[in-house]
Amino acid sequence: MMWSGRRDSLDCPPLSTRTWGGEEPKNKHKCLIQRDDSSLEQEIEELRRNRPKSAEQGDFTLSDVLYFTRKGIESIVEDDVTQRFTSEELVSWNLLTRTNNNFQYVSVRLTILWGVGVILRYCILLPLRVTLAGIGISWLVIGTTLVGFLPNFRVKGWLSELVHLMCYRICARSLSATIHYHKKQNKPKKGGICVANHTSPIDVVILANDGCYAMVGQVHGGLMGLIQRAMERSCPHIWFERAEMRDRHLVTQRLRDHVNDKTKLPILIFPEGTCVNNTSVMMFKKGSFEIGGTIYPLAIKYDPQFGDAFWNSSKYNMVSYLLRMMTSWAIVCNVWYMPPMTQEEGENAVQFANRVKSAIAQQGGLVDLAWDGALKRGRVKDSFKEQQQKMYSHMVVGDDSSD
C-alpha cells in the first residue's frame, strides 16, 4: 500500500462539510485517521533531527521503522483512493438513505416524514420526471435528425444549437436540476477545449444547459447509439470506434483538426476518464493537453444534501443510477467558468494538465489528488511503485542526487 506523502492528499473531512469556492468549513467532520498538518518531508526531517548524534546520515533507526509502519497502517485503514469511488458520507441524514455510519437512531417523527417523502418521490415526482426525460430524449433524436437534412448553412448551426439546448434543458427538468453558473464571462469559445472534473454522466446535461459543446466519446449501440447518430447529423460531435480509441495518435489528430476549425463548437472533455465522488479531482490524462489551443477549465460541485449525483458504475448500471437520480429530491450544483489557460513555454503536457487540475480543485473546493482514476478497476503500475520507493528512499537517506 502506497501513500502520496502530500498533505492535500491526506485531508479526510468529507467535502459535503466544505463551502463552495475552496473555503474551509467551520466545523470539520472527524475521520477515522487524525493526521497532523506536517508533510512527509517535514516529518522525516524532524526524525533526522531527533536521531542520536552517533547515527550516520542514511542509517535507519527504530524510529524510521515505526514511522513507515504507522503510515502504512493508516493507508490500509483509510487510504485516499478507494474512498473516492464510493458515495461521500454526509454529516446529517437527507431523508433518502442512511448516509452516515454514525447515524443509528431514527425517531418516529423522522420515520413518518421519510415515509411521506417516499410516496412523494416515487408516486408523484418519478412519473413526471420519467415523462419529461422521455420527451427530452425523443425530441433530441427527432429534432437533430430533421436538422441533419438541412444544407450546411449558418441557419443549420443555429437550429442545431437551439434543439440541443432545448432538449438538454428538458432533461435537466426531469432531474429537478438547480444549476448555478458563476463567472459567465469566461464561457468557452468556439475552437477551444473545455475540461472539467467528472462526477456523473449527467455532467454533460448540467454543462450543456448553458451552452452547446461538441462531445467526444466511444460509439455505442442500442438507444445510446441511436442518440449519437442523430446528434452527429446536426452537429460535428466526435465519436470513436473502440479500435480508434486505442490509437492515441489518430484520436489526437481528429481532435486537433476540430480545434483548428474556429467555426466549430468547443470540445467538452473529462480528462479524469472516470467518475469520482464529488470530493476530489484525480489525475488528468495528458492527451487532452497535447492537442494545443486554449483550455477552458470548468469546476463542477454538487450539493449532496439533495441527492447523490455520483455514479458508482461498479455498483449500479445506468438504468439503476438514473432511477436513483429521478427519485432524489433534486440535483443541485454549482458550475464555475474559469479563465482560459494556455501551455506555458517549457511546460510539457503533464505539467500543464496538473496545473489545470489544481486550478479546478481549488475553485471547486475539491481535494487535489495525483492518483490515476484507472485505479478504480486496476492495480497500481509497478513503475509507479518503483518511482515512489525511490522518492521515499531519497527522503530518508537525504541523497538529493538522482539515479
pLDDT in tens, 199-208: 988 999 999 9
DSSP 84: G
Q: State the CB neighbour count (10 A cutoff) for residue 279.
A: 26
- Tell me the HSE value of 195 on the side-chain side, using a 13 A CA sphere: 31
Tens-digit pLDDT profile for residues 369-400:
888 877 777 777 777 778 767 776 776 665 55
Q: State the CB neighbour count (10 A cutoff) for residue 249.
A: 8
C-alpha cell at 201: 454522466
Tens-digit pLDDT profile for residues 270-319:
998 888 888 889 989 888 888 888 899 999 999 988 888 888 887 888 88
pLDDT in tens, the chain (403 residues): 333 333 333 334 443 333 344 444 333 444 556 666 565 566 766 766 665 554 455 555 566 666 677 777 777 777 777 777 777 777 677 778 655 555 555 678 877 888 888 899 999 999 999 999 999 999 998 998 898 888 877 888 889 889 999 999 999 999 999 999 999 999 998 888 999 999 988 999 999 999 899 888 777 777 778 888 888 888 888 887 766 656 667 778 888 888 888 888 899 999 988 888 888 899 898 888 888 888 999 999 999 888 888 888 878 888 888 898 999 999 999 999 999 999 888 889 999 999 999 999 999 999 898 888 777 777 777 777 787 677 767 766 655 544 4
Query: Which amino acid type is present at position 309?
Result: A
Q: What is the CA radius of gyration of the chain?
A: 24
pTM over 0.75: yes
- DSSP string covering 277-321: -SSEE-PPPGGGGSS-S-EEEEEEEE-TTT------TTT--HHHH
Compute the distance between CA of residue 324 and CA of residue 274 in angstroms, rounded to an integer.
19
Helix or strand or coil: residue 78? Answer: coil
Compute the distance between CA of residue 13 and CA of residue 17 in angstroms, rounded to an integer.
7
Tens-digit pLDDT profile for residues 80-94:
777 777 777 776 777
16 by Cβ neighbours in 10 Å (0-12 / 13-18 / 19+) ranks as buried
C-alpha cell at 96: 433518502
Cα torsion angle, 179, 185, 189, 195, sign: negative
Q: Per residue in 310-345, is it b (16+ CB within 10 Å) or e — as a string?
A: bbbeeeeeeeebbbbbbbbbebbbbbbbbebbebee
313-322 contacts, C-beta under 8 A, 24 or more apart: 313/274, 313/275, 314/85, 314/376, 314/377, 318/201, 321/201, 322/133
Indicate the domain borders of the chain.
7-90, 108-371
